[in-house]
């Protein structure tokens, strides 16, 4: 293990170290994986981990049993998640009180703690092993497969699983043309939104005659409702870093930059640590592994602007200036960071690279659908039973993801729509559930793959309100460069707001559609070009709902405040006063033990009375 101290100077040294670490790992196959991702830490997994550490120490198990605080294990809804290896026993919702029992029963006596097992909501059966839970069984986890095997702060863990082997192979045996050829053959398409073939992008930049080139990893993850890039960076940062270094070699860049949004402080910290570890081992720096390739990586932290996810705006932001996009061409492959040829790739795109090199382009491309290779990670959230990260082969139908993996809609409600692609995407109704999730299919349906947000909505979500939500988001985030984006979005927002208030007309509705088309066709960057999608797609699939708002002044989902009212059923109300005490507007009056009533002129329609009534006597009309 001397290499860990002295650094790696050649390929054989890398392979030796990998082998040594692998052997060491095999000798100690007992370990606990405690999920340390943001979701589970919000459930208290940090305390769980600390207590495990103490308990293992006390029982004298700390030598024989490892403890890993891992990246996202996927099933965030059931956190804190703990998996006991080598058996792979999956415990959910683990509290500090449960820890002794797990150590005592499972670690010492080899028994399963029934109470903490996952229970299948349909059959009621308790499931012991993670792989047997439908949520995992139906996924194909490639990028996330190692999350429960590695501690993200340990480069040894990554190396023990063959990490940086792809980089070794590339530097030792391949030319940059061969690497690009391999990526092209894999049919990998960019995972950041537009789905541009990654190999072609690299080829274009690689062909630019320039001394200095850059490769930037886009970890801005602006789509509100998506978190796979964060989870990759926090759960397996070295895989992204390895992809970035290989990308740098392929395009001929000597410097890489990872641009991370400010809202992800943990990711910033984990990535900085990973870079320092790679530098120390000589996997970054001069003449990596004895080759002629030198490469360094720095981190640039965003400051909160959605438009900075757009490539040319991102470059401005890395420069430290106002993040306004610019007209293209010249493309970034010609003139990007510091006016040098630059490639920008999404986090997930780069995380795929080592796997492609390792498994070979052909095997990789067989994973996906007809047109694009590989898997895609979706953040499955909203009103679905199992919220979390799912990784599936590209092209899997929406229905399978939402119902078989996600377990369907929460609370027995009806499915209404699924939103994909974030603010640039659209909403798809139940009739589109058999659509394969692939770039072109989603585009044709008026939505987008985007970065992988998948927000499921039930009958209680209003589509007009959702369109308003996205317009407000985009209107806030528009940089204001293009007149049609700046003014168009705010006029559209006004129009949709008027609809949610029941103050619109069918004539104005027609104008809204027209304006949406103008904004789409006349703006410079992707924000405006796709900014009308949420409006256009909801109009396309939910016209009736718009019509109800406009013509009947009614919000069928019961969301738009100006179109609903709250009442108390005087026959049911027993006068307990719960709603009166909770009402923030003081709009509820009534004597104790007598039916209460709501003063409509004071009611702000917050709905707290509905939530607080113990006998469901409050009704929403």
Partner 1 sequence: MAKVAEELKNGQKETAGQNNVSLVALLQEVQERYNYLPEDVLRELAREKNLSLMEMYSVATFYKSFSLQPRGKHKVATCSGTACHVRGSEKVTEELSRVLGIKPGETSQDGAYSLETVNCLGACALAPLVVVDGEYHGNMTAARAAALIKEHLKKSRGLSAAELEQDVEKKAWEGCSCAILLAGNDKK
Ligand X SMILES: Cc1cc2nc3c(=O)[nH]c(=O)nc-3n(C[C@H](O)[C@H](O)[C@H](O)COP(=O)(O)O)c2cc1C
Task: Report d(CA 112, CA 105) in Å as an integer.
Answer: 7
Q: Which region among 24-32, 98-106, 289-297, 345-353 touches ligand X (by CB under 6 A)?
A: 345-353
Residue 538 lies near ligand X (rule: CB under 6 A): no
Exactly one of 256, 309, 336, 488 binds ligand X (CB under 6 A); that residue is 309
Determine contact, residues 8/55, Cβ cutoff 8 Å.
no
Distances (CA, A) of 548 to 394, 429, 434: 37, 17, 27
Residues 450, 228, 134, 131: is their CA dihedral positive or negative?
positive
Distances (CA, A) of 611 to 207, 246, 578, 585: 62, 54, 10, 15
Determine the 3-state secondary structure of 461 from DSSP: coil
Residue 527 lies near ligand X (rule: CB under 6 A): yes
Please state, as a whole number, how many other Cβ atoms lie within 10 Å of the Cβ of residue 30: 13
How many residues in the shown chain lie near ligand FES by CB under 6 A?
2
415-420/82-85 β-pairing: unpaired
Output the smallest distance, CB 385 to ligand FES, in A.
18
Residue 381 lies near partner 1 (rule: CB under 8 A): yes
Residue 349 lies near ligand X (rule: CB under 6 A): yes
Please state, as a whole number, how many other Cβ atoms lie within 10 Å of the Cβ of residue 594: 12
Closest by Cα among 581, 618, 565 to 589: 581
Q: Which region among 141-149, 185-193, 353-361, 365-373 touches ligand X (by CB under 6 A)?
A: 185-193
Output the smallest distance, CB 599 to partner 1, in A.
9
**Minimum CB distance to ligand X smaller for 349 or for 369:** 349
**Minimum CB distance to partner 1 smaller for 179 or for 299:** 299
**Minimum CB distance to ligand FES smaller for 149 or for 261:** 261
336 binds, among ligand X, partner 1, ligand FES, none (CB under 5 to 8 A by kind): none
Exactly one of 36, 193, 222, 590 binds partner 1 (CB under 8 A); that residue is 222
Residue 436 lies near ligand FES (rule: CB under 6 A): no
Residue 236 lies near ligand X (rule: CB under 6 A): no
Distances (CA, A) of 31 to 34, 70, 144: 10, 12, 18
**Minimum CB distance to ligand X smaller for 148 or for 473:** 473
Is the backbone peptide bond immediately before 262 cis, with ω within 30 degrees of 0?
A: no
Please state, as a whole number, how many other Cβ atoms lie within 10 Å of the Cβ of residue 427: 27
Exactly one of 317, 369, 437, 484 binds partner 1 (CB under 8 A); that residue is 317
Determine contact, residues 77/135, Cβ cutoff 8 Å.
no
Output the smallest distance, CB 94 to partner 1, in A.
16
**Minimum CB distance to ligand X smaller for 193 or for 407:** 193
Structure-block tokens of residue 595: 């039916």
Strands of the sheet with 453-458, listed across from one edge: 388-393, 375-382, 453-458, 415-420, 426-429
Task: Report d(CA 390, CA 376) in Å as an integer.
Answer: 8
Site mask for ligand FES (CB under 6 A), range 209-248, x = bound: ---------------xx-----------------------
Q: Where are the alpha helices (DSSP H) in 94-217?
A: 99-101, 109, 134-137, 155-160, 165-173, 176-186, 198-206
Residues 213-232 that bind ligand X (CB under 6 A): 218, 220-222
**Minimum CB distance to ligand FES smaller for 419 or for 530:** 419
Residue 65 lies near partner 1 (rule: CB under 8 A): no
Residues 153, 154, 155, 157: is their CA dihedral positive or negative?
negative
Residues 326-365 that bind partner 1 (CB under 8 A): none
Residue 590 lies near partner 1 (rule: CB under 8 A): no
Exactly one of 156, 310, 324, 458 binds ligand X (CB under 6 A); that residue is 310
Residue 373 lies near ligand X (rule: CB under 6 A): no
191 binds, among ligand FES, ligand X, partner 1, none (CB under 5 to 8 A by kind): ligand X
Residue 614 lies near partner 1 (rule: CB under 8 A): no
Please state, as a whole number, how many other Cβ atoms lie within 10 Å of the Cβ of residue 520: 18
Exactly one of 85, 196, 469, 597 binds ligand X (CB under 6 A); that residue is 196
Output the smallest distance, CB 426 to partner 1, in A.
12
Residue 322 lies near partner 1 (rule: CB under 8 A): yes
Distances (CA, A) of 541 to 425, 429, 553: 14, 7, 19
**Minimum CB distance to ligand FES smaller for 88 or for 225:** 225
**Minimum CB distance to partner 1 smaller for 81 or for 333:** 81
Residue 77 lies near partner 1 (rule: CB under 8 A): yes
Residue 321 lies near partner 1 (rule: CB under 8 A): yes
Is the backbone peptide bond immediately before 329 cis, with ω within 30 degrees of 0?
A: yes
How many residues in the shown chain lie near partner 1 by CB under 8 A?
66
Q: Which region among 37-45, 157-165, 186-194, 281-289 touches ligand X (by CB under 6 A)?
A: 186-194
Determine contact, residues 385/121, Cβ cutoff 8 Å.
yes
Output the smallest distance, CB 226 to partner 1, in A.
7
Please state, as a whole number, how many other Cβ atoms lie within 10 Å of the Cβ of residue 292: 8
469 binds, among ligand FES, partner 1, ligand X, none (CB under 5 to 8 A by kind): partner 1
Tell which phi-psi region holds residue 338, choosing left (phi > 0), alpha (psi between -120 and 50) or beta.
left
506: burial class by Cβ within 10 Å (0-12, 13-18, 19+)? exposed
Site mask for ligand FES (CB under 6 A), range 157-196, x = bound: ----------------------------------------
Residue whose entry in the numeric block shows the structure tokens 């759960």: 235
Q: CB under 8 Å to 415, separation ≥6 — which residues?
A: 402, 408, 409, 430, 433, 456, 457, 458
Task: Report d(CA 315, CA 574) in Å as an integer.
Answer: 63
Q: Which residues bind ligand X (CB under 6 A)?
A: 190-194, 196, 198, 201, 218, 220-222, 307, 309-311, 344-346, 349, 451, 525-527
Q: Which residues bind partner 1 (CB under 8 A)?
A: 38-39, 41-43, 76-77, 79, 221-227, 230-231, 262-264, 298, 300-306, 317-323, 379-383, 387-389, 419, 422, 453, 455, 457, 461, 466, 469-470, 473, 479, 582, 584-587, 601-602, 606-608, 611-612
Q: Which residues bind ligand FES (CB under 6 A)?
A: 224-225
């Amino acid at each position: 293990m001397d290499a860990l101290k002295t650094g790696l100077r050649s390929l054989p040294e890398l392979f030796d170290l990998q082998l040594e670490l692998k052997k060491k790992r095999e000798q100690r196959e007992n370990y606990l994986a405690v999920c340390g991702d943001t979701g589970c830490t919000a459930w208290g997994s940090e305390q769980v981990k600390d207590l495990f550490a103490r308990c293992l120490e006390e029982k004298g198990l700390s030598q024989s049993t490892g403890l890993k605080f891992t990246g996202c294990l996927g099933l965030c809804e059931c956190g804190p998640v703990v998996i006991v290896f080598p058996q792979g026993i999956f415990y959910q919702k683990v509290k500090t009180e449960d820890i002794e029992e797990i150590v005592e029963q499972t670690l010492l006596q080899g028994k399963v703690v029934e109470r903490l097992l996952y229970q299948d909501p349909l059959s009621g059966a308790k499931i012991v092993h993670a792989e047997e839970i439908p949520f995992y069984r139906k996924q194909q986890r490639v990028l996330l497969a190692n999350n429960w095997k590695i501690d993200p702060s340990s480069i040894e863990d990554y190396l023990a699983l063959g990490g940086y082997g792809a980089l070794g192979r590339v530097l030792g045996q391949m030319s940059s043309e061969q690497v690009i050829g391999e990526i092209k053959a894999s049919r990998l398409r960019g995972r950041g939104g537009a789905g541009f073939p990654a190999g072609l992008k690299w080829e274009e930049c690689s062909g630019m005659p320039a001394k200095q080139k850059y490769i930037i990893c886009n970890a801005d993850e602006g789509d509100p409702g998506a978190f796979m890039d964060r989870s990759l960076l926090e759960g397996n940062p070295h895989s992204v870093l390895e992809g970035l270094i290989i990308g740098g070699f392929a395009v001929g860049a000597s410097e890489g930059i990872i641009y991370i949004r400010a809202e992800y402080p943990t990711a910033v910290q984990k990535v900085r640590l990973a870079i320092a570890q790679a530098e120390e081992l000589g996997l970054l720096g001069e003449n990596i592994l004895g080759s002629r390739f030198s490469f360094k990586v720095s981190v640039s932290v965003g400051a909160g602007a959605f438009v900075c996810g757009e490539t040319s705006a991102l470059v401005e932001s890395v420069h430290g200036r106002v993040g306004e996009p610019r007209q293209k061409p010249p493309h970034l492959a010609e003139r990007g960071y510091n006016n040098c040829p630059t490639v920008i790739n999404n986090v997930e795109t780069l995380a795929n690279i080592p796997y492609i090199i390792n498994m070979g382009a052909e095997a990789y491309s067989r994973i996906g659908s007809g047109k694009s290779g590989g898997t895609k990670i979706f953040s499955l959230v909203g009103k679905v039973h199992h919220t979390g990260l799912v990784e599936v082969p590209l092209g899997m139908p929406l229905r399978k993801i939402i119902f078989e993996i996600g377990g369907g809609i929460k609370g027995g409600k009806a499915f209404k729509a699924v939103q994909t692609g974030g603010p640039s995407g659209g909403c798809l109704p139940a009739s589109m559930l058999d659509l394969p999730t692939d770039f072109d299919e989603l585009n044709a349906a008026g939505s987008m793959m985007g970065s992988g947000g998948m927000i499921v909505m039930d009958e209680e979500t209003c589509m007009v309100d959702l369109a308003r939500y996205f317009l407000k988001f985009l209107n806030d985030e528009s940089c204001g460069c293009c007149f049609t984006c700046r003014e168009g979005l705010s006029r559209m927002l006004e129009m949709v707001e008027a609809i949610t208030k029941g103050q619109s007309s069918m004539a104005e509705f027609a104008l809204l559609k027209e304006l949406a088309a103008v904004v789409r066709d006349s703006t410079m960057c992707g924000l405006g070009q796709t900014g009308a999608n949420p409006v256009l797609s909801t109009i396309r699939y939910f016209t009736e709902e718009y019509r109800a708002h406009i013509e009947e002044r009614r919000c069928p989902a019961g969301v738009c405040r100006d179109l609903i009212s709250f009442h108390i059923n005087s026959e049911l109300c027993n006068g307990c006063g719960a709603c009166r005490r909770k009402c923030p507007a003081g709009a509820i009056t009534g004597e104790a033990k007598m039916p209460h009533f709501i003063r409509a002129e004071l009611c702000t329609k917050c709905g707290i009375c509905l939530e607080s009534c113990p006998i469901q006597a409050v009704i929403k009309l």
